[in-house]
C-alpha cells in the first residue's frame, strides 16, 4: 500500500479520442482500462476516468477572480515539485498548448511562493498545475488569500 491514499476523479468529456490525445500526448499520462464510454488515465500516479457525455450535458464553468485572473471554479490538477513544474511548463509550451492562465508566480518572495498555470482539455475541463517553493507550506493557514 502507498504511504498516502491515491486520488480518483471521474470527469465528463465530449470526445474520448480527443481526451486520449490530450492526456497522453500532451500531458504525458498513460492509459489503463477503457471501454467505448470511458478511459482510465494514470495522472501523476492517480486515477482519472474520462466519461463520455453528450456536449449538451457537459457542465458550464463559473469563475472567481484570483490575482486578477478569472480562475475556473471547477478545475483539477497536480502539485508538482519545482523542477518537475518547470519541465512540465516547457513540455506544454513546446506542444503549443493554449494557456487559460499563463504560468506565473503567486506570493513571489513570500513564504508561500508558488508557481501556477491553467490549461483546458478538448472538452473544456480546466486543469491547474502548480508548484510550491516550500511544499511544507501547502496547507499553511497563514497564507490565506484575501481576494
Tens-digit pLDDT profile for residues 86-100: 999 999 999 999 999
Q: Say which DSSP state 5 is in.
A: P
Set of cell numbers at residue 13? 468529456
Q: For residue 126, what are the β-bridge partners?
A: 75, 120
Phi and psi (nearest 5°) for 109? 80, 0
- C-alpha 84/C-alpha 87 separation (Å) is 5
- What the chain holds in terms of domains, given with CATH numbers, is 1-54 (3.10.180.10), 63-147 (3.10.180.10)
Per-residue model confidence (pLDDT) at position 131: 97
Cα distances (Å, whole numbers) of residue 68 to 35, 65, 89, 143: 41, 6, 21, 18
In this structure, what C-alpha cell is assigned to residue 20?
Answer: 486520449
72 pLDDT band (50/70/90 cuts)? very high
Amino acid at each position: 500500500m502507498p504511504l498516502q491514499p491515491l486520488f480518483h476523479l471521474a470527469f465528463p468529456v465530449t470526445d474520448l479520442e480527443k481526451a486520449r490525445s490530450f492526456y497522453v500526448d500532451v500531458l504525458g499520462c498513460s492509459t489503463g482500462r477503457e471501454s467505448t464510454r470511458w478511459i482510465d488515465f494514470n495522472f501523476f500516479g492517480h486515477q482519472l476516468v474520462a466519461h463520455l457525455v453528450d456536449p449538451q450535458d457537459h457542465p458550464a464553468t463559473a469563475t472567481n477572480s484570483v490575482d486578477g485572473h478569472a480562475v475556473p471554479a471547477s478545475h483539477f490538477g497536480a502539485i508538482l515539485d519545482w523542477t518537475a513544474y518547470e519541465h512540465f511548463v516547457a513540455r506544454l509550451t513546446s506542444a503549443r498548448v493554449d494557456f487559460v492562465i499563463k504560468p506565473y508566480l503567486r506570493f513571489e518572495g513570500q513564504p508561500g511562493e508558488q508557481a501556477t498555470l491553467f490549461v483546458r482539455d478538448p472538452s473544456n475541463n480546466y486543469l491547474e498545475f502548480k508548484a510550491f517553493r516550500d511544499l511544507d507550506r501547502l496547507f499553511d493557514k497563514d497564507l490565506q488569500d484575501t481576494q
